[in-house]
Structures are given as C-alpha cells and as structure tokens.
Amino acid sequence: ISLPEHLEGDRALTHRQPEARIAEFRVDVDWLRGATKKQISICAAHEVLHILLAQLYWLADKSNIMSEEQLAAIEHDIVRSLEKII
C-alpha cells in the first residue's frame, strides 16, 4: 500500500505483477479525506478482487486472444459481479 496521492479520475488503482507476486494499491488523497469507513472498505474490497484476478489476467494477456482494453473490461465486469455476491 502506498501513501495517498492525487489520481486523475480514479478513487484507487491497483498495479499488479503476478509473476513477481507484487501488488500495489494506490488511493486518491482527496477522495480518501472525505470518504467514510464503509466507502473505504468497499473500495479496498474492490481493489482486492482485482488483485485476486491478477494471475488470470496476466495469463490471458500473454495469450493475445483479445486486446488489453477488452481484457480489462471483462475483468472489471467479473469484479462487479463478485461484489454483488459477496
């Protein structure tokens, strides 16, 4: 987890390197200042789901079956579906 910083248009970002087993979670400082504990928890859970899918994303990206944009959209759809059932 890195210190809060200014992110352009995002509350939080996750950067992953599954082959190195590294994940970095960044939070926008302005959003964080006004967020409730519940909002922070929901945001953190969302980013953790992205981390859990990192290895699958990495393998799919290496296969070149679809574009990185298509893969990112599908991953986000999976994260949103998981949020609904958790």
Contact call for residues 50 and 14 (beta carbons, < 8 A): yes
Distant-in-sequence, close-in-space partners of 54: CB < 8 Å, separation ≥ 6: 16, 18, 23
Number of other CB atoms surrounding residue 54 within 10 Å: 19
This prediction has a pTM of 0.77
The pLDDT > 70 percentage for the chain reads 94
pLDDT in tens, 58-76: 888 888 888 989 998 999 9
Q: Please state, rounded to an integer, the average pLDDT across all residues of the chain.
A: 85
Regions in the chain scoring below 50 on pLDDT = 1
